[in-house]
């Protein structure tokens, strides 16, 4: 059941969509004379589908660390292009303050900014952290191991019992 938004009566028959004093209204045939302009219902577009992240975007931020002197590398890359910080910021779609803070190494760029820098000035500012593997070399001769200490303790207990 649809009601007229002007008089409140139930609308039987065709529904009219009119602009009355700037407001879009659904009205009956009698009240449709109050507005001259017709409006139509536009279908709501579905939200854009999220794209699947690329392989390099999947890497967790925790596994990436900035390279040494990344600020100097960014500044030198920008200067090679002959751009000042303002124009460079517009080129990569970031704020001027962000570019300046990266160049002063006051801000570590996130992955999206790092990709923009890599694309425009061919500089990688984030690299994978080298995982340090536990050393598997045996202890030097003469140094006691935990197993040695446990054996000593067992031997002492055995001697006491005798």
Using DSSP's 3-state secondary structure scheme, residue 109 falls into coil
- 31 and 65, same domain (yes or no): no
Q: How many structural domains compose the chain?
A: 2
In a domain, 66, yes or no: yes
Using DSSP's 3-state secondary structure scheme, residue 63 falls into helix
Dump pLDDT digits (tens) for 38-58.
887 777 777 777 777 666 555
Asked whether the predicted pLDDT for residue 9 surpasses 50, the reply is yes
What b/e readout covers 83-97, taking b as 16+ CB neighbours within 10 angstroms?
bebeebbeebebeee
- Cα-based angle 128, 134, 138 (whole degrees, multiple of 5): 150
Dump pLDDT digits (tens) for 70-126.
999 999 999 999 999 999 999 999 999 999 999 999 999 998 999 999 999 998 898
In a domain, 161, yes or no: no
CB 51 within 8 A of CB 83: no
- Cα-based angle 104, 110, 111 (whole degrees, multiple of 5): 130
Using DSSP's 3-state secondary structure scheme, residue 36 falls into coil
Structural domain that includes position 98: 58-128
pLDDT band of 61, cuts 50, 70, 90: very low
């Amino acid at each position: 059941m649809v009601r007229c938004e002007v008089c409140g009566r139930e609308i039987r028959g065709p529904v009219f969509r009119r602009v009355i004093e700037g407001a879009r209204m659904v009205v009956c045939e009698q009240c449709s004379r109050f507005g001259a302009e017709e409006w139509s219902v536009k279908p709501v577009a579905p939200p854009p589908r999220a794209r699947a992240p690329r392989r390099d975007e999947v890497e967790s931020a925790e596994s990436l660390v900035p390279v040494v002197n990344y600020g100097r590398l960014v500044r030198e890359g920008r200067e090679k292009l002959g751009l000042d910080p303002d124009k460079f910021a517009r080129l990569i779609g970031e704020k001027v303050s962000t570019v300046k803070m990266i160049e002063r190494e006051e801000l570590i760029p996130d992955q999206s900014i790092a990709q923009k820098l890599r694309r425009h000035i061919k500089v990688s500012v984030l690299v994978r952290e080298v995982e340090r593997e536990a050393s598997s070399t045996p202890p030097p001769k003469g140094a006691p191991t935990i197993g040695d200490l446990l054996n000593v303790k067992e031997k002492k207990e055995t001697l006491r019992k005798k």
